Amino acid sequence: MRTQVAIIGAGPAGLFLSLLLDRLGIASVIVELHTRDYIENRVRAGLLEYHTVQLMQELGVGGRVALEGLEHGGIELRFNGRGRRIDFRDLAAGKCVTIYAQHEVIKDLAAARLATGKPILFEARNAQLHAIDAERPYVTFHHNGVDERLDCDFIAGCDGFHGISRASVPAGVLTVYERDYPFGWLGILAQAPPASQELIYVHHHRGFALLSMRSPEISRLYLQCAPDEDLSLWPDDRIWSELHKRFATDDGWKLTEGPITQKAVTGMRSFVVEPMQAGRLFLAGDAAHIVPPTGAKGLNLAVADVRVLAAALGHFYSSGSPALLAQYSATCLRRVWKVQRFSWWMTQLLHRFPDNNPFDQRRQLADLDYLTGSRAASQSLAENYVGLPFR
Ligand code: FAD
Ligand code: DHB
């Protein structure tokens, strides 16, 4: 097999890239480890930045998100038992965010990709990258009982944090910057109408909590837990009891309960590799960086990377100039580090740290008071939350 761009992974990064390239007339083949059913049902993120939704519209895959997505013009920050709203539409030039589950995005993108007649090779086992420093790199893998070889001009490593692309780069080329957090999130989906129309981020002395949703009937709730929390210690009634404590307000606000249909623990880390390129291999999305989920940025940052990559590849194929490809890593990293900063800042602002230093607690509360009382401070949060502009 031969193509122009071999894309490893059919997550948000790989699928968005394939549609962007298709629009530029650039051929690609997607090599994906799992089945279509698996990637279309994996429960993950749910919050789309303004620009991510706009891109879906531009690519002609915005029909369902426009109908079923929930537009949010603000969030609530709840601390000391009181809620304060941050109004994005007012503070971020009319912009808003949209709640629409990541696996629904995947369904829309995969359907559009397959409708172009170009392949997603599902259940491709043992993918390996070869000759990434040469003019003609290639990928080998096992598919439908056959050993395949895919020759290409470039490889896009879009295979997430645990994929093989980053691991294929020779030792000494990449520098890793990382930070672990001493907590994780226990996330649930519940058949319960969300108790609020907008997201609520809670600072509480028992630990952080977040109310989100997937539809007017389904709540998505998270609570801070240990990074290796044992889910068997969390029967449903304990989860609800803990959520009620953390969301409690002075004015008797009530969380709505319902049957829990999904439970999982997610660890948290900040991670970046530099550069995001090695020879003809370009890393994008979680393959190159991870953010803690507090700022809801993981998926959106993956999309931002592949916008840059598609433009650079388009420039290369139309002009023969590798200039934009050479700048790919530096261009992406400027945004990556701003998003890292924002995700770290939201995380340290809202979580309880194990040493529970009373100074830090007071400082967090002062920060929240300032943030919700100062237009300048809340505008900075709003600008980052809806998504930084691209230029
Ligand atoms: P991925 O979505 O990981 O896609 C990578 C793809 O590559 C997958 O389809 C995978 O099957 C495939 N692949 C992997 N290895 C190989 C291989 N060897 N060969 C071929 N294919 C391969 N972000 C938020 O903003 N908010 C959240 O609440 C949130 N929750 C999350 C919960 C979990 C459990 C996880 C894991 C992530 C969560 N994230 C969240 C992060 C967000 O989902 C990611 O940032 C986003 O999926 C990144 O997209 P990606 O395309 O870079 O990588
Ligand atoms: C969701 C996840 C997040 O990490 C976040 O900050 C906001 C919303 C969600 O899953 O809906």
pLDDT of the residue at 190: 98
What type of residue sits at position 21? L
Cβ–ligand 1 distance for 292 under 6 Å, the answer no
Question: Can you tell me which atom of ligand 1 is nearest the CA of 39?
Answer: 9
Looking at residue 391, its pLDDT comes to 65
Residues constituting the chain: 391
| Atom 9 of ligand 2, nearest CA residue | 46
- Counting ligands in written order, the one closest to the CA of 46 is 2
CB 243 within 8 A of CB 370: no
Residue 280 alpha carbon to ligand 2 centre in Å: 34
Of 51, 72, 95, 351, the active-site residue reads: 72
Nearest CA to ligand 2 atom 1: 46
Whether 184 and 267 have beta carbons less than 8 Å apart is answered as yes
CA of residue 123 to ligand 2 center, whole Å: 29
* Ligand 2 atom closest to Cα of residue 296: 6
72 is catalytic: yes
- 195 by DSSP, 3-state: which? coil
Question: Tokens 């429960």 appear where?
Answer: 43
pLDDT confidence of residue 356: 84
| Closest atom of ligand 2 to CA, residue 214 | 11
Closest ligand 1 atom number to CA of residue 305:
52
> Which of 36, 102, 148, 210 for a ligand 1 pocket mutation test, highest count of atoms within 8 Å of Cβ?
102
Catalytic residue among 12, 194, 292, 293: 293
Span from the CA of 290 to the centroid of ligand 2 (angstroms): 15
Protein residue whose Cα sits closest to atom 7 of ligand 2:
296
- Do the strands 28-31 and 146-151 form a parallel or antiparallel pair, or are they unpaired? unpaired
Backbone angles phi, psi at 3, to 5 degrees: -150, 175
Closest C-alpha residue for ligand 1 atom 39: 45
Three-point CA angle 270, 273, 276, nearest 5°: 130
Residue nearest to atom 19 of ligand 1 (CA): 33
Q: How far apart are CA 57 and CA 99, in angstroms?
A: 15
Ligand 2 binding site (Cβ under 6 Å of any ligand atom): 45-47, 99, 199, 212, 220, 293-294, 296
Q: Which ligand is nearest to the CA of 263?
A: 1
| Measured distance between the N- and C-terminal CA atoms of the chain, rounded to whole angstroms | 38
Residue 127's SS3 state is: strand
- Please confirm, yes or no, whether 317 is among the known catalytic residues: no
Is 181 catalytic? The answer is: no
* Least distant ligand from the CA of 215: 2
Which residue's alpha carbon is at the smallest distance from atom 6 of ligand 2?
Answer: 296
- How much distance in Å is there from the Cα of 10 to the middle of ligand 1? 9
Selecting among 50, 201, 317, 328, the annotated active-site residue is: 201
CA 293–ligand 2 middle distance (angstroms):
7
- Distance between CA atoms of 105 and 2, rounded to whole angstroms? 28
Is the CB of 69 inside a 6 Å radius of any atom of ligand 1?
Answer: no
User: Is 204 considered catalytic here?
Assistant: no
The tens place of each residue's pLDDT in the chain, 391 residues long, gives 999 999 999 999 999 999 999 999 999 999 999 999 999 999 888 999 999 999 999 999 999 999 999 999 999 999 999 999 999 999 999 999 999 999 999 999 999 999 999 999 999 999 999 999 999 999 999 999 999 999 999 999 999 999 999 999 999 999 999 999 999 999 999 999 999 999 999 999 999 999 999 999 999 999 999 999 999 999 999 999 999 999 999 998 999 999 999 999 999 999 999 999 999 999 999 999 999 999 999 999 999 999 999 999 999 999 999 999 999 999 999 999 999 999 999 999 999 999 989 999 999 999 999 999 999 999 999 999 999 988 6
For 134, what's the count of Cα atoms within 13 Å in the CB-facing half-sphere?
9
Ligand 1 center from residue 160 Cα (angstroms): 5
The greatest distance separating any two alpha carbons of the chain, rounded to the nearest whole angstrom, comes to 66
What percent of the residues of the chain are helix, what percent strand, and what percent coil, each to the nearest 5? 40, 30, 35
Active-site residue flag, 201:
yes
